[in-house]
A and B are shown apart, each in its own frame.
Chain A
């Protein structure tokens, strides 16, 4: 190798090293490297997005003709869930220790099936709901997220599936709970539980 070719070789090697170093630095700064493409593609295009926290003030179940105000419920002194008052104008109640409708997690709303001498409760016909039917929550800040029924279950109160009702989930879901089963002198032996998932964040 004569001197000029050796010089050319060294220069070429140096240049290629510099170019390769510069190339590795460019990717993270600009975000245009190959890693960013799969990151963007993880987000589903048509997924219903969770809505912000806002207390529910109303609930509609069009197929059952239910359109009710929603009150806030907490825990009774014995650790059970409070239920709406037994009145002529029965209302549903949102369990305030659960997410608000449209937030990620199981938002829990309960209502009576019957209210003693006043007759039918707001969730009298909850067990008639079928998979895919629509439930709309009205939130205090104006949003109205829509849910689609995924399952309706009637379970004995003694075997209430607390994990499935109150357990964590990875999307906004809704639980509507009332009593059910054949009526006895003491009340009802079962619970009717409607599971629903967010289908639209609404207006």
Chain B
């Protein structure tokens, strides 16, 4: 009888020892299990109007090089045609002046010759 009790006790102890495993945080494997990414899921789902402001993530470097200044994406257009108009007016004035000078020279030459 005593042998039976001792055998049973020894068996129970063996079972407890066999069941003792290292206390890993996730599962029985000592290799770290891949971390579930809670942040990788885009939030807006099917909505066409997601939240107004972007949310920050703890990771860094999605934009690997941040430019120095604001992009210069506006080359001002020509002054709405006013530049061309100015050129036209200047040219006309020069032509009138030249014509006047020519008339003056012709008259003066005729006057001298007469």
Total number of A residues with any Cβ neighbor in B under 8 Å: 88
Total number of B residues with any Cβ neighbor in A under 8 Å: 58
Closest to A130 in B: B49
Flag the segment in A54-62, A64-72, A176-184 that touches B: A176-184
Closest to A11 in B: B8
Query: A112-B75, A199-B48 in contact; A97/B63 too (CB < 8 A)?
Result: yes
Q: Is A48 an interface residue (CB 8 A)?
A: yes
Main secondary structure of the interface of A (DSSP, over half): mixed
Q: Is A105 an interface residue (CB 8 A)?
A: yes
Contact A169 B62 (CB under 8 A): yes
Binary contact readout A139-176 vs B (1 if CB under 8 angstroms, 0 otherwise): 00000000010110000010010101011111111000
Residue numbers of A with Cβ under 8 A of B are 3, 6-7, 10-11, 13-14, 17-18, 20-22, 24-25, 28-29, 35, 39, 42-44, 46-50, 75, 78-81, 83-84, 86, 95, 97-99, 104-106, 108, 110-119, 121, 123, 131-132, 134, 148, 150-151, 157, 160, 162, 164, 166-173, 177-180, 183-188, 191, 195, 197-200
